[in-house]
Structure 1
Amino acid sequence: MRASAFLYPWDVVGDPHAARRIARLGVRQVTLASAYHSTRALTPRHPRHRIVTAEHAAVLYPPDRARWAGRTLRPYEQSWVPGPDPYGEAAAALADEGLEVHSWVVLAHNSRLGAEHPDTSVRNVYGDRYPWAPCIARPEVREYAVTLAAEAAVRSGTSGTELESCGWYGLAHLHAHDKTAGVRLGGAGQYLMSLCFCAVCREGYAAAGADPDELRAAVVRALAPLWSGEPGPGPGDRAGEWAEVEERLGTDLAAATRAWRGRMADDFQRGAVAAVREAAGPEFRVLLHADPAVHRCGANAGTDPSSLLAHADGAVLPCTGPPAERTAVLAPFAAQATERTTLAANFTVVTGMGGSPATLAVDAAHARVLGATELRLYHAGLASNADLDMVESILA
């Protein structure tokens, strides 16, 4: 199975040995961040630093001034990696070692955008804003994100892209000093807390057959037992999560939220893929980070497999969990796949982040049986030397 490792440009820029070290792992491809959210990242082998703090969401290349002229929403430029084009510099170094480079583009996850343009954010049932989560139902957000997708994906020396957060983002977010785990929400509670009630979404619910005020009251009622101490369920199967949403909210209201949000996510994904193809041509491979449960939010945005595979070349799917979880993620996509479909099983290989590089061979074999055609390894820049040695021995 073809394997690709995720990397940040700062893992390569300034380290003359980084590209060769990645090539020695045995991967054929690198998925390199070109537009990314804020983060604090360890760089265990870099000769000049050990920590990189990306203070806000930014593009890691020089954006096209003409493309963004006159637009209110535009990408932010980075200042934490030296040089005018860290992505381009890293991509060139990796290509010199014989590695194929695909861009890694984060779309609907941008805290600075929400801080500077509050109206663009998801607003929950209580009126709280999620500044990290742009509301993809808003036309100005979709226009911005689709334009960003095309620019950040199609960089020089790049032969494909992987679009992350290409759908709804919600409550779940790795935030600084996070204090949101005091109530066990479960999958259903996460969904209810992720429903947006901005003006655009209220109109959308109405168009889908749900009175927005009635819906809002129903969501508040559905969440009330959790705040009162009712034990919420733990992580469950995707169908069970949705069944609980219907039980708490009512079948008709739940269906209306799903219809509206599903249509907006599908429009966004189709628009992003079309924009990338227009900029790059038909041979440029476009994959989406996804989850087959359409109600789920986040980096792996919930999406209907048949819809996604009708316009994208495939999906990158989270597979680090136990075998049953892996089956639940891969099987729905494999059922819709053709011989041209790429299904990349994404495994965390950083032990300190919950990964298990020692079991990669067994886990990858299981994923292949389930229909995976490629591997993704998260993350070659963050992993320890011991983790990378294990990956190299397995890939060899």
Structure 2
Amino acid sequence: MSTVYAYPWDVVGDPGAAERLAGLNADAVAIAASYHTVRAATPQHPDHRMVQARSAACYVPVRPSAWQGSRLVPAEPDWVPGADPFGAARDAVRGAGLPVHAWVVLTHNSLLGTANEDLTVRNAFGDRYTYALCPSAPDVVDYCERLVSEVMTLGAPDGLILEACGPLGARHGGHHEKTEGADWTAVQLDLLSLCFCTACLELYRDRGVDPVELRGRVCDGVDAAEPPESVDAALGPLAAQVREIRTGTAADLAARLVARAREVRPDIRITMHASANPWGTGPFSTVAGGVPEVDCLVGNCWIPPDVAADGLAALRRLAPSKVDIGAYILALPPQPADPEDLGALMDCFAGAGAGEFHMYHGGLASARRLATIAETLAKRPGPE
């Protein structure tokens, strides 16, 4: 099975967009129903070449009645026309014969995070990640549940894709990122991703973890002349408890959102962007604390192929056999626009356990890259 991703503005206002997406030989199209700030190229659109989504927004209507009493209320977009951009794009793509999955980005929201800093991830040094809503906070969980419910109710999709279904961390964050020169290792970035917001501090204390000791160990690991070999080594005797707290928070959020979606549509196919890494943060949330009742887990394959393959294999080992494993594949630079190269990459990921391929991106790609996607997918077997 293959899915191509797109934004509502790729389709709205372009009479040829739905047929163009259908021509990519994918089995479904994932359209963003909730998304973060972005400046996006639209090389195929007849009316514009760039879209500036100035803030995170919800692309199904934001009904006041549904958000009454919620501290966090999503913004509505004014950069794409119409009262229901997701619905308009959904209907167009369905009209071209393809099912539409609602792609929902959850805790990555700079607008709401900046306005509610106490609900965002705070690292051991006290720095706030205002793009990262922390799911340890009940208000954040409530926001995510309402968002999924509204997308399911108003969006009426054929499938649901959950992204950032857990805490974000030091990666995948700031606008005009300027952090590379610090030379932090992957372990140090994981340490910088551990949260010390009020809700997380309460969790640590409730589970018998001393936040002062934990903060000291994290800071020492980040600033060490010789970086620690692993997060567990840096945290020492606190590692097991902290890992259980972190993975449990992500598992609880995922379980709640899956349950909420199935309240609306018991038969809905649910996909989650996921990682088997217990310290993983970002769009691909950890499922090391328990795999939710989803139909597919999609792993990040925008990284070196051998690392991506290892991650997919780890997801396959972790997930029940009934849960499919998908590979999230970049069809944009630096990936060459070469069907043979893209096909070889997909073969590699299939060998690691991937039975689905999620192609990024049907709206951002040039005509040459769209042709590469179409040619590559045409050579692969369809769903059984």
Q: Assess if the C-alpha contact under 8 Å between 1:101 and 1:157 holds in 2.
A: no
1:64 is displaced (CA, Å) by: 2.6
Which residue identity does 1:275 align to in structure 2?
R
Equivalent residues in 2 for 1:94-173, closer than 5 Å: 94-173=93-172
Distance of 2:283 and 2:58 partners within structure 1: 17
- The answer to whether the aligner puts 1:28 opposite 2:10 as a matched pair is no
Distance of 2:210 and 2:247 partners within structure 1: 18
Give the SS at the match of 2:298. strand
- The answer to whether the aligner puts 1:346 opposite 2:328 as a matched pair is yes
Q: Assess if the C-alpha contact under 8 Å between 2:37 and 2:53 holds in 1.
A: yes
Distance of 1:124 and 1:181 partners within structure 2: 18
1:44 is displaced (CA, Å) by: 0.4
Q: Assess if the C-alpha contact under 8 Å between 1:114 and 1:120 holds in 2.
A: yes
Which residue identity does 1:74 align to in structure 2?
V
Distance of 2:11 and 2:240 partners within structure 1: 47
Structure 1 stretch 365-374 or stretch 334-343: which is displaced more? 334-343
1:339 is displaced (CA, Å) by: 5.3
Aligned residue pair count: 378
Which residue identity does 1:342 align to in structure 2?
D
Q: Assess if the C-alpha contact under 8 Å between 2:30 and 2:100 holds in 1.
A: yes
- The answer to whether the aligner puts 1:248 opposite 2:234 as a matched pair is yes
Give the SS at the match of 1:6. strand
Distance of 1:41 and 1:134 partners within structure 2: 23
Distance of 2:106 and 2:155 partners within structure 1: 20
Equivalent residues in 2 for 1:175-324, closer than 5 Å: 175-225=174-224, 230=225, 244-250=230-236, 252-281=237-266, 283-304=267-288, 307-308=290-291, 310-324=292-306
Q: Assess if the C-alpha contact under 8 Å between 2:86 and 2:155 holds in 1.
A: no
Residue in 2 that maps onto 1:236: none
Which residue identity does 2:346 align to in structure 1?
A
Cα 1:212–1:320 shift into 2, 3 Å: closer
Distance of 2:57 and 2:158 partners within structure 1: 21
Equivalent of residue 360 in structure 2, options 378, 393, 396:
378
Cα 1:171–1:373 shift into 2, 3 Å: same
1:40 is displaced (CA, Å) by: 0.4
Superposed CA offset, 1:324-372 (max 9, x none): 2132111122234455322221110012578865422122222223221
Give the SS at the match of 2:277. coil
Equivalent of residue 368 in structure 1, options 350, 353, 361:
350
Residue in 2 that maps onto 1:395: 377
Cα 1:112–1:207 shift into 2, 3 Å: same
Superposed CA offset, 1:212-233 (max 9, x none): 11111222222222xxxx475x
Superposed CA offset, 1:255-299 (max 9, x none): 222121111111111111111111122x10111101110201101
Q: Assess if the C-alpha contact under 8 Å between 1:349 and 1:357 holds in 2.
A: no
Structure 1 stretch 324-333 or stretch 27-36: which is displaced more? 324-333
Q: Assess if the C-alpha contact under 8 Å between 1:103 and 1:161 holds in 2.
A: yes
1:22 is displaced (CA, Å) by: 0.9
Which residue identity does 2:233 align to in structure 1?
E
Distance of 1:190 and 1:356 partners within structure 2: 33
Distance of 1:168 and 1:339 partners within structure 2: 26
Residue in 2 that maps onto 1:88: 87
Distance of 2:311 and 2:185 partners within structure 1: 18
Residue in 1 that maps onto 2:39: 40
Which residue identity does 2:239 align to in structure 1?
A
Give the SS at the match of 1:175. coil
Q: Assess if the C-alpha contact under 8 Å between 2:135 and 2:250 holds in 1.
A: yes
Q: Identity of aligned pairs, percent? A: 37
Structure 1 stretch 6-15 or stretch 146-155: which is displaced more? 146-155
Give the SS at the match of 2:82. coil
Cα 1:21–1:358 shift into 2, 3 Å: same
Unmatched runs of 5 consecutive residues or more in structure 1: 233-240
Q: Assess if the C-alpha contact under 8 Å between 2:165 and 2:285 holds in 1.
A: yes
Superposed CA offset, 1:293-321 (max 9, x none): 0201101112228x21x422221111243
Distance of 2:183 and 2:158 partners within structure 1: 42
TM-score (norm 2): 0.93
